[in-house]
Amino acid sequence: MFEVLFFSNGNTAFLKNGKQEPKLQESWLMLYVKFLEEKGIDPLEGTYALPDGIAKIFKTDSGYNWRFLSRS
């Protein structure tokens, strides 16, 4: 049995038998960014409304990352 926690700041935690497994803890916001890219939509063109505030995606050497533009 495992548990997945979705946090309001865009991150996740994956727990199996009460222990975190970092390799399975990809940000749910970054998963959506990958989804948009697969559909031919440039994720850099949008802003993202999260429960904790408005986020903006930016490009890095290894892919994408994000930061809050404003916080609730």
The whole-number pLDDT of residue 6 equals 92
Q: In total, how many domains does the chain have?
A: 1
Domain that holds residue 37: 2-71
List per-block mean pLDDT (blocks of 10 residues) for the chain, which spans 72 residues: 90 94 92 96 94 93 91 72
The whole-number pLDDT of residue 10 equals 86
The whole-number pLDDT of residue 8 equals 86
- pTM score > 0.75 for this model? yes
Is the CA virtual torsion 34, 69, 26, 58 positive or negative? positive
The whole-number pLDDT of residue 71 equals 75
The whole-number pLDDT of residue 31 equals 93
